[in-house]
Structure 1
């Protein structure tokens, strides 16, 4: 990088950081805190954000953060933005490399990344940084680029040196066997399940989507899920554990498609991702394994969902 300096965030940077996000994304960035310099400083002061900045000749060219909830050993590499005048200098990659080193100093066991699918830049950067793409979040957030359809997100994960995050040793359904066996080769497996942390069920409404996180899926819960309105867009995150194969079959019968896995940020386990109610679309993704998940999801979209109008 030519005449570019990387340094840690300072409280006096809040205004410049907010202006940088607004200059690049206008009013469309999905994290509203970046539009409020006081919130930027509050997140840093409370230890939720740990940011690095890229400067050249006193001009702010780039920003990226490690974002971590209190008590979690998993951080997210996020809030990455580079000014157009700084592109082509690998600034985002260099910020990511430094932050992954910092994640170890913070005591993190692993780092996630959410890769946008409107373009391939963040997906390629994630691969260069050593992230493995593990799942796909369909219609996850309003488009940060002002597009009419919501943005789908590719989930990536990398373990910090000295820590492992093995998957449960299970028999995988034929529908996702190749995908899961590849991840088992990357992360390893174990018979013992890490303990679940938090309530056994959590539901919230976000960006027009209903997010359901579940410790387990039984007959009574399946009956209640079956009664949810068909026009709802619903995303399920189910603990990846014994019973996964039968759960996948039961959810598929209700129109839910499996789209990979994501780390459970509350503990050392994994969550299986299922979606129903997403929009029909075509995407070109960098990871061929995630591409196959997406294409399969599009093949199984129900006619009533395919005809739904885009969200406002």
Structure 2
């Protein structure tokens, strides 16, 4: 067997990295930049990507990168791919671990990861290198494996040594108490800071759903959400605060299920995730907490589907 070398990316690798993605994913990889070697070079030259490779004497056999916006103190471990001929050698784990070891020197305070659920490999790798799963993004992106169902993502998070992102120290509702106490044990707690600057309300179309970002939920906004068509697929990111218990009740009344947490961009806050409308599917997830969120979401979708008899759970889409 040819000896593998793990090393940083250099400009001459662009074509080999692009070929690797084509060989593994064909034309279906979600991040289209990988199909243009010039873009791979540009992202690495500008510091938006920091790529690590596994190579032999002939070709690139593995790739992973830290991806971030310029001057951000957080990044995403992403673009992880291993050639089928090299699988079983813990290449993704070794690349991920090396990039996390470099994170502190790059000025990063934390690293996130989006773990696919079509197969268990990224979930296993994330757990091995120290990520903690925090939430689900249901039906998030088209499957890179040409599967008819969109890919559900498990969010993972890793704090760089010396940095913290605590959760508010509040009573948690019984329905999610086990998960929230677990996350508190991992990330710590602090008194809720209500003086944070409010983020602007955001709404955008993403594939067949609406993505909404909310800083503070009031009666007026809640009434407007109530008036949205019941068959629309909607994902909400609401800033986590001491009002979480009442927020959970309000969203549950609107037919939403709680799907965990993800970090807010910048600062040290968290989003609570809520989702309404989902494809019917069975998933076997590595993290028991994420498995419960998925099972609860599926049960919630089945319970509210009679409200929209003309659009079954598995076929709903935004008009």
Normalised by the shorter chain, which TM-score bucket?
over 0.9
Superposition CA RMSD, Å: 1.8
Displacement of 1:193 in angstroms is 2.8
State how far apart, in whole Å, the 2-side matches of 1:160 and 1:197 are.
25
TM-score (norm 1): 0.95
CA distance in 2 between partners of 1:102 and 1:311 (Å): 42
Which residue of structure 1 lines up, in the alignment, with residue 71 of structure 2? 71
Query: Which segment is superposed worse, 182-191 or 229-238?
Result: 229-238
Report the Cα distance in structure 2 between the residues aligned to 1:170 and 1:135, rounded to whole angstroms.
19
SS in 2 for 1:41: helix
Displacement of 1:23 in angstroms is 1.0
CA contact (8 A) 1:72 1:265 kept: no
Query: Matched residues in 2 for 1:169 and 1:229: separation?
Result: 35
Report the CA distance shift for 1:191/1:31 in structure 2 as closer, same or farther (over 3 A).
same
Residue of structure 2 in register with 1:242 after alignment: 242
CA distance in 1, matches of 2:34, 2:183: 34
Partner of 2:91: 91
Query: How big is the shift at 1:177?
Result: 0.9
Q: Which runs of 5+ in 2 are unaligned?
A: none
Q: CA deviation at 1:171?
A: 1.3
Shift of 1:155: 0.5
Check the 8 A contact 2:192/2:241 in 1, yes or no.
no
Matches within 5 A, 1:58-137: 58-137=58-137
Distance 2:69 2:197 in 1: 14
Residue 232 of structure 2: aligned partner:
232
Query: What is the CA deviation profile of residues 91-127 of structure 1, one whole-angstrom value per residue up to 9, with x for unaligned ones?
Result: 1000001100111111111111110001111111111
CA deviation map 1:248-306 (0-9, x unaligned)? 11011111100100111222111111101111111010111110111011111121364
Provide TM-score, normalisation by structure 2. 0.93
For residues 250 and 113 of structure 1, what CA distance do their matches in structure 2 show? Answer: 29
May I ask how many residue pairs the two structures share in their alignment?
A: 312
**1:152 maps onto 2:152 in alignment:** yes
Equivalent residue, structure 2, for 1:166: 166
Determine if contact 2:16/2:59 at 8 Å carries over to the other structure: no
CA distance, structure 2, for counterparts of residue 59 and residue 39 of structure 1: 19
